[in-house]
Amino acid sequence: MIQRISIGAALACILAACSPPAQQGQSGGPASAAAAGGIQPGQYRTTVTLLEMNIPGVPAQSINMAPTITEDCVTSSDIAEFTEGNMVNADSGETCTQSSMNTAGGRIQGEASCTGPNGTRTMQLSGTYSANRVDMEISSSSQMPGAEAGTMRMRMSSERIGECAAGTDAD
C-alpha cells in the first residue's frame, strides 16, 4: 500500500498513513528547514475524512466513512526526511515511484505509484501547508490482479496543537 503522506507516522487510513511534508531544496538540516518557514516540530492532531470510496463488490454502506483522528509527535528529523522529498514508502515486495512530488512555497503537489504482488496503486495529492498546519486531498486508484479497479478520495487536515509530551524525541 502507498504510505506516508502527511502529519504523524502512525496514521493508517486505507491507502495512506500520514506524516508532515516540508519544503524541498532547503539546506542546513532540520533546524534550517523549520526556520525557513517549513513545518514546525511538535504535537499534531490529524483528521482524515474519507470522502469517496468505490470498491467493486463492496457495498457502500459497509464502508466506514467516519473521520479518523490521531495525535502524533512530529520531530525535526521527520521533517528533514520530507525536505528531501521522501513522501512515499513501499510495502514489502513493492516498488514505488514518485513521478512528481513538490512540497515548496506552502503548496503540496504530487503523483506516485506502487507495483507489487498485490497489484498497482496510483495516488495524486494536492494541498497547502504552513508552519503549524497541513491540508491535503488525496485521490488514489488500485488495480489488483483479477479484480476491477477501486478508487478512493480523502481529505486530511493536520494542526499543531503544542509541544510534544515530555519524554518524546521532539528535537
Q: Is 5 among the domain residues?
A: no
User: In this structure, is residue 167 part of a structural domain?
Assistant: no
To the nearest 10°, report the CA torsion of 22, 26, 31, 32: -130
List, for residues 141-170, the tens digit of each pLDDT value. 988 888 888 999 999 999 999 999 887 765
Give the pLDDT of residue 118.
Answer: 83
Per-residue pLDDT, averaged over 94-102, amounts to 81
Tell whether 12 is covered by a domain: no
Q: What is the pLDDT of residues 109-136, one digit of tens each?
A: 889 888 888 889 898 989 998 999 989 9
Residue 60 structural domain: 29-162
Whether the full predicted model's pTM is greater than 0.75, yes or no, is: no
Which grid coordinates belong to 7?
502529519
pLDDT digits 0-9 by tens, 9-68? 222 222 233 333 333 333 333 333 333 347 899 999 999 999 988 888 878 777 777 899
Could you tell me if residue 169 is inside a domain?
no
Residue 168 lies in a domain: no
- The reported pLDDT for the residue numbered 126 is 93
Looking at per-residue confidence, does 74 or 26 come out higher?
A: 74
Asked if residue 92 belongs to a domain, the reply is yes
Sign of CA dihedral 46, 49, 112, 149: positive
In a domain, 18, yes or no: no
Q: How many domains does the chain have?
A: 1
